Structure 1
């Protein structure tokens, strides 16, 4: 068995100088084994969003079979259910939409088409998330762990090992579930706080006597501020999931560790989140327009357009999870560099080489 000291995940950043220019540099990770001492190599450094995307594509090419298997077996089924809304009860969506409209009206918001569409869209998302929660906490969570494990293997120049991954999952599963439940509570708390603030602001503007237009503008301002706060919360939650796989922490500790780890790199996470969100929203819109709403003749277009859009959506989810793992490694090294190269070892490797893990396998 290979020793963990010789196959630890590592990030090596080389400064490549462009011909004829002494000022242009680009930093890239290389997938090669090294020992933990080299984490403090001064050539390393943090990466921006574009460099993280390039590194993600490089890792995808290196371990393509493992990632494609994860996408096909774990991500595609969840994407198909999520896009098609087969588990969503339309009557529940209608009831929730009506209640949201009543709350909006009582808060002083005029019931304009934009407000109505927003309430309906949020009701669909809420009901869909609730009905798909069993899939999220099983297949989706398992896919995230598998992606992090495969990225870890790629940095150690190893291929995806099903038996080792099974042993690792048996060791860390409840830690992963605990972190995911805390992530759900953070997201629900953020959304609840947003609605409370939105209602308070709209009520205040309405009581003072401002026109409905100003009330709408105030609501939009609150929504924009919330979008930035919510995006930061999602970034912290995504990195917390990665941390719960790679480090021996879970729940609120993983969230606190995530917040401390990405400090100073939040703008990179925001760009990553923006790109993945736009991509997912684009595919969702195409699916709703081309598959759910439209059909040509006997509806045969859905036979190939539906699966194609599901594959596209699953690929975006795969890339997003991979980028979160790469972003973790980038932030982790930056933190270690500022703390004089503190020793670091992947929790996955310690699990693989432990006797308990061997017993499981």
Structure 2
């Protein structure tokens, strides 16, 4: 890691997404002694992806806590800690392991503020690595965001870059309500970015325009962002200008950035790796219809995973949206 000063005299370092997450957790642990980390192997081993590497050594076993292999227990304990003045960061090793804890999240974490008429809130973060493309076994590669974006009371965040990962994680820890923090495993160590060394936040609920364009709006998040950018750059060579929108927060979604972009371009393609049926892409199409229908020059296209469980590693590349599939989607709306 190299450290340098930017033009605005902010010290930065060139780090990966997983290092940015580790850095963000270190900062919140330093700033607030009520912040805790708990999960399977997060302490001595530093987590399955080393996201918590070195934190137990610095902050001790009372703040970085190794738990039994019980996702329901991890989340249930975190809820109890949160309503009693702590700010737990609970790690679920892979998003596909979160299902045993779904009851705790759905019936308790997301409802306690309403149930107690605002007397209690649940300031907890659930970190969940997600996504295919890393050759993991079955149930290790799920993209289950739609289960949680349909759950009022919990925010769903999904950064694509190191800068956003650190800033959004700090913002999630400071949020008074529960936040599901989805981490794209495929992006963990795939590239580096200059990230401020010190404290900063990225606002939850705000998308980001990754590329300016005039002809087509490409809407995506998480691990798909670099793939979509490659497709956009490829289309540029053919005279098609694509605007790339990274939602960053999936609930509450930034409807304004979607509407403004689609109203400018008149065409849209939504890309996500989760299965098509019941996917978040459907809600985005509805937002476009509600806000921008009369601006459309073509029906909105979706490029997604298929309606099957994420397959074994030899078939992962066929399951995931590729540059080629995204290009075909762009061509479909531009040639309509």
> Normalization by structure 2: what TM-score?
0.23
Higher strand residue share: 2
Normalising by the residue count of structure 1, what TM-score does the alignment of the two structures yield?
0.21
Which structure is larger by alpha-carbon Rg, 1 or 2? 1
Higher helix share: 1
